[in-house]
Structure 1
């Protein structure tokens, strides 16, 4: 991992490195310069937020094979940094869970699911406990999480039994339908692990869970707000970073 230091006064406040055919940007690049960089990239290049997070970079863009090599090269160092960031909370996670936090494909919904299933809130997750997947791309990342951290499968089954909990009903319903969602994705998008694709049927199924959450929001709004508990009560918000509490 390269260490980024602010540039001296008057010098450009960003730095560009080339590695494995990828362009890595550190610092604050002016918008015009960034747009020129994007225009010069190949149509096959990918802007990859996960690799940027691993490197502590502002952005990383490059060919998929180059990005994959960087991910593999940086996985061990990134895992060590995540373990240090988590502190004592890391003891509650197995090695595969820590590695996923360091090098896995992530989005708001997969980070929310990780928090719900482990009780550990990732340091870089700034979302809410009910960041449900909105489309097949987001569900794909949730599915990769459960595949890459097999110990979470038991917690997912426990979550599916919490449909009577008003704070968890949407996620619990999604967990209960998990196998059906996976079967539909396998049918519509067989190579979902490695190739881009579409799964409109999965999108339609996921929309149902968001309707449930919308109905809950309307019901909450109809009550006296002064006495309402904080939303997303499944997490103990008084805990420090990395100490979200799974109330199962």
Structure 2
């Protein structure tokens, strides 16, 4: 008869918390357990990456009103963490920009636009200035950025005048067409700020800019032999806020 004791089960590498009717996952949950958690969620629950980022969690799922309460409760603390992560670079941003980094709705294109206009690269963004908005959903996040950080709007106007810069030509063309894109989006999806929707006309317009960028990248690759990824950002297009420190190298 064997006297060997069974090996102790390893402690789970994740934990789950409940707040405001939302389920918050920290750590790495096995796939099977994660699928069971998702199957047990209500059809009205939303998996929200931005709230997860604010909380330093792996995932957050819950009802829209609960997620909104979590966002409101955690914004101040998240802004403090963003300032600590950015260090001296945080002085170049106004409070609205810090708030957007902490609590705004974000995607690759809105993060690219933020970096392009401010010269400050968010810690969690690893893309390049090739990250143009692919569809109306991504343009929506870019529009929210400019609404929530009004100081960046003058940078967009400067960007529209940079069509002669080979590294900015596509973003500059998109900035130049910004009013037309917004009018089309408002026509097709008037409730874009807070309700789901589609804007196929906007998607088609954005595809044109992406095709231009693809053609430009191919041409540059042919001339240079290879592209360097990610491409460097040019000088920021929005000056530092009044009283901020000088530009960092």
Give TM-score scaled by structure 1 length: 0.89
Matches within 5 A, 1:226-245: 232-235=231-234
Instruction: Rate the CA distance shift 1:186–1:224 in 2: closer, same or farther, 3 A.
Output: closer
Q: How many residues align?
A: 230
Distance 2:229 2:124 in 1: 22
Matches within 5 A, 1:1-248: 10-225=10-225, 232-235=231-234
Checking the alignment, whether the CA contact within 8 Å between 1:129 and 1:235 is kept in structure 2 is: no
Gaps of 5+ in 1: 1-7, 237-244
Distance 2:232 2:61 in 1: 38
Greater RCO, 1 or 2 (C-alpha within 8 Å, sep 6+) = 2
Gaps of 5+ in 2: 1-7, 236-246
SS at match of 1:151: helix
Give TM-score scaled by structure 2 length: 0.88
Shift of 1:233: 3.5
Shift of 1:234: 2.8
CA deviations 1:116-140 (Å, max 9, x no partner) are 0011111111111220010100000
Instruction: Rate the CA distance shift 1:45–1:111 in 2: closer, same or farther, 3 A.
Output: same
List structure 1 runs of 4+ shifted beyond 2 angstroms: 228-236
Distance 1:114 1:9 in 2: 46
Shift of 1:222: 2.0
Which has the larger Rg? 2
